Structure 1
Amino acid sequence: MMALCALKRLACLLFITLSLCSLPRAGAAATPAPLPSGVFLPIQVHVAVRILNVSRIAATEGEASMMVELTERWSNPALAFDPKVSGFGRIDTVGDEAVQTLSSMWTPGTEIENQITTARTEATSVSVRADGTVTRIRRIDADFRVDIDMTSFPFDHQDLTLSMVSPRHAADEVIYVMNDLDREMSSIETDVSASNWTGKRLSVVMERYHGWNARPFVRVKAMAEVERAWQYYVLPLFVPFLAVTSVAVFILWARVSLIGDKAPITYSALLALAALSFTYESSFPGSISMNSPIAVMVSLGYFYLIAVLLTDIVLIYADYPGKQRYPHLEPEIRAYIRLAIPAIFLLICLSVAFNALT
């Protein structure tokens, strides 16, 4: 009798456990629809990318805020219909209706790998043609992780890359393709919202990589090239720099009676140069911290000011060979270095700037 009761209790416990396991869990992801039937694998998904706007480029954070339009097109014969019966050759849905339509059909599940924030705005539209061709268009306004190269600032061009993959389907199931129409559709707006930036061109390439399960996948990389309007940076960057480093010219050319002790003036210029570098970094983030040409010039400026002061001290106070025997030697050396040292520094700065332009 006790054994029978124990069996009944065990059966009740097993029934409750199975019942709890069969209940749907909150937040569980819906099972994706199976691959379309009646199509050859891998399924070709045509893709086109448009950059509608670039509203922010943060160099130090490596981020860009963009509005992206992603168009995907594939064939699903199971969705074909007779246009003579329906009276139209295409079914269009937008917004929530489009999202509901997509939830009941197979999609490539394309994701933008380097999207780092939830989309501020997102709009979706779906078109199903009579032959079963499905076109999905998504407009996404979000922040993306990008690589920023400041080595040519302020004459730089940046490639803002979007990386798109289908994590659910390997290359033997889904591949991305582009034809001439897709490439013609892919573009970037010239007039963007980001201050002092201009959109130039958009290029799209496909590459193969291996996922965590060692299966090959296809990645789409859309590279949007933007150009900085360097004309707006020349005066704020280079005029203050030249004004501070011009102290060296006064040290070499002015009389002692005119400027007095030269050491305090030089160290004041060094402090001004340090303050100028902080101003550059706060006004143009990344201009100093990311090894830009202006950062190289500021570093050379410290050396230049100290070198001029030391040269002047040596000529005046040091007992170098021939100073007593040839009294005219110091004026001759000073006349030479007055032109040579500033000219060499100017040529180095110009070469750094021109190297950034090329």
Structure 2
Amino acid sequence: MRPFFFWTLLVATLVFPILYGTQSAAGTDIPQSIPLPVRVHLAVRVLDVSKVEETAGLASAVIEVTQRWNDPSLRFDPVRDGAGRKDFTEAQASEKLQNMWSPTVTLENQISDARVDTASLSVFSNGDVTMIRKLDADFRTPIELSAFPFDTQRLVFPFASRLYAADDVIFIVDDRDRDLSTLARSLTDSDWTPGRLEFSLEQFYGWNAKPFMRVNATAIVSRAWPRYVLRIFVPFIAVLSVSLFVLWAPRGFVGDIPGITYSALLALAALSFTFEASFPGSMSVSSPIAFMISLGYFYLILALMADLILESGKFPFRAAYPYLPEEARRYVRYVVPGIFTTICVATILKALA
């Protein structure tokens, strides 16, 4: 009894993995009729960008991916079948893909389950296969706010096949694929204006130390900065308008000038903290708004120092030239705000260039 049990267990151990292992891996094995490496054409259409969250570093987008390759094992007689192409959609496409080979292209930076994930498949009589997948999901993407609010973001969508190394599958983006690839002319997120779509191919090493290929589709979008005038520039100008009261108001019209100026400095600091909390990285050294706020501190202090010096009884040459402080104030009230405004405008124009 024991030998029979031993031989039964041995046969089951050897035969079952072969049968079931071959059955489970059938969908991942490249058919022998396809010459290696398999040339997979890739085209990407960014249909919409519904949300860009700077604080989280993610973008919600609708992506349509078109993959094209040739599989000789799928050839059929168009005369016998009465059509030169067989189309499969939704459930039919999913069932067909389970019974045939595909390059298994995935989006590497997708961070959540797709809200919409549909596929359609076309198989031609000569073995050409076209698969179109539409995906609505959230994607992790780097956000660079050094030029905020005049920044241009590069939303990167990396495509790769983790199952097949470059010896087995390579990606091709030719002129036809670029013509098929588009970026939507208008976006749901009205804070952004669509620009153009770029492609780049790169190589990386996977889990098995083999080289793999990656296609980066980059959607370039620019921030619609006029929408930030009320949110950013109006409060900024309102705080700095204190300098006009300091330099232009008649003596005695404004009571505590140093107190008002220091209050404006605190309001400017609070404004910068608000911007940084809402848009992390916007207060970096190279950011235009950060530079203008930093310059605003010096501008307010300079306006206060100019007022104190011109009104001081120890102003140089006051005794010999009693009208000199008033004449100096006439020039200062134009020159100081003029220089500050010129620098701010030049900073904005440089960021827009």
TM-score (norm: length of structure 2): 0.87
CA gap 1:136/1:336 in 2 versus in 1, 3 angstroms: same
- Partner residue, 1:162: 157
1:213 paired to 2:208? yes
Q: What residue in structure 2 maps to residue 187 of structure 1?
A: 182
- Native 8 Å contact 1:98 1:124 kept in 2: yes
Q: Is 2:132 aligned against 1:151?
A: no
- What are the equivalent positions in structure 2 for 1:110-189 lying under 5 Å apart? 110-189=105-184
Pairwise CA distance, 1:92: 1.2
SS at match of 1:259: coil
Distance in 1 (CA, whole Å) between partners of 2:52 and 2:204 is: 28
1:263-302 residue CA offsets vs partner (Å, 9 max, x unmatched): 12112222333444455557x6348445632232222222
Structure 2 Cα separation of the partners of residues 273 and 327 of structure 1: 36
Aligned to 2:279: 285
Q: What is the RMSD of the two structures over their aligned residues, measured on CA atoms?
A: 3.1
- Contact 2:196 / 2:220 at 8 angstroms: preserved in 1? yes
Count of matched residue pairs: 346
Q: Give, in angstroms, the shift of residue 193 of structure 1.
A: 0.6
Q: Which moved more, 1:38-47 or 1:196-205?
A: 196-205
Equivalent residue number for residue 249 of structure 2:
254
3-state SS in 1 of match to 2:145: coil
- Is this contact kept in 1: 2:272–2:283, CA < 8 A? no
- Distance in 2 (CA, whole Å) between partners of 1:167 and 1:183 is 23
Identity %: 45
The one-letter code of the counterpart of 1:149 is: E
Contact 2:283 2:289 (C-alpha < 8 Å) held by counterparts: no
Q: Distance in 2 between matches of 1:34 and 1:212?
A: 18
Q: Are residues 298 and 85 of structure 1, via their aligned partners in 2, closer, same or farther at CA, if it must alter by over 3 Å?
A: same
Q: Deviations over 1:63-103 (max 9, x none)?
A: 11000000101111111111111111111111122112111
2:51 aligned counterpart, secondary structure:
strand
The one-letter code sitting in structure 2 at the alignment partner of 1:148 is I
Secondary structure of the residue aligned to 2:47 is strand
1:66 and 1:96 mapped to 2: Cα distance? 23
Measure, in 2, the Cα distance between the counterparts of 1:287 and 1:248: 28
The answer to whether the aligner puts 1:79 opposite 2:79 as a matched pair is no
> Which runs of 5 or more structure 2 residues have no equivalent in the other structure?
18-22
In the alignment, the residues of structure 1 paired with residue 326 and residue 40 of structure 2 have an alpha-carbon distance, to the nearest angstrom, of: 78
* Stretch deviating more after TM superposition (208-217 or 185-194): 208-217
Q: Residue 212 of structure 1: CA displacement?
A: 4.0
Q: Does 1:266 align with 2:261?
A: yes
What is the deviation of 1:202? 1.2
The separation in 2 between residues aligned to 1:253 and 1:200, in whole angstroms, is 45
For 2:351 and 2:195, how far apart are their aligned partners in 1?
18
Q: Distance in 1 between matches of 2:291 and 2:79?
A: 71
Amino acid at match of 1:269: A
Shift in Å, 1:251: 0.7
The answer to whether the 8 Å contact 2:41/2:172 transfers is yes
Once structures 1 and 2 are overlaid, which stretch shifts more, 323-332 or 41-50?
323-332
Equivalent of 1:233, from 224, 228, 234? 228
Distance 2:219 2:38 in 1: 27
**Secondary structure, in 3 states, of the residue corresponding to 2:253?**
helix
Determine the C-alpha separation between the residues in 1 that align with 2:167 and 2:52: 37
What SS does the corresponding residue of 1:267 show, helix, strand or coil? helix
3-state SS of paired residue (1:233): helix
Aligned partner of 1:26 in structure 2 is: none
Partner of 1:340: 335
Alignment-mate amino acid for residue 211 of structure 1? G
Deviations 1:38-69 (CA, angstroms, capped at 9, x unpaired) = 23211100111001111001112211100000
- The aligned counterpart of 1:243 is 238
Tell me, yes or no, if the aligned pair for 2:315 and 2:325 is still in contact at 8 Å: no
What pairs with 1:55-94 in structure 2 (closer than 5 Å)?
A: 55-94=50-89
Q: State how far apart, in whole Å, the 1-side matches of 2:282 and 2:222 are.
A: 19
Counterpart of 1:154, as a letter, is: P
CA distance in 2, matches of 1:74, 1:342: 65
Distance 1:71 1:80 in 2: 20
**CA distance change for structure 1 residues 357 and 309 in 2, over 3 Å: closer, same or farther?**
same
For the pair 1:40 / 2:35, whether they are aligned, the reply is yes
Q: CA deviation at 1:311?
A: 3.2
Structure 1 stretches lacking a partner, 5+ long: 24-28
In structure 2, how many angstroms separate the alpha carbons of the residues matched to 1:206 and 1:178?
Answer: 9
- Output the amino acid matched with 1:144: F
Deviation string for 1:200-238 (max 9, x for gaps)?
221222222333433222111111122332232234432
- Distance in 2, matches of 1:318 and 1:168, equals 83
Task: Find the aligned partners of 1:178 and 1:205 in 2 and give their Cα distance.
Answer: 9
**Higher mean C-alpha deviation, range 115-124 or range 267-276:** 267-276
Any conservation in 1 of the 2:47–2:64 contact (CA below 8 Å)? yes
1:142-171 CA distance string (max 9 Å, x none):
011112222333333222111011111111
Q: Does the 8 Å CA contact 1:287/1:295 hold for their aligned counterparts?
A: no
Structure 2 counterpart of 1:240, one-letter code: P
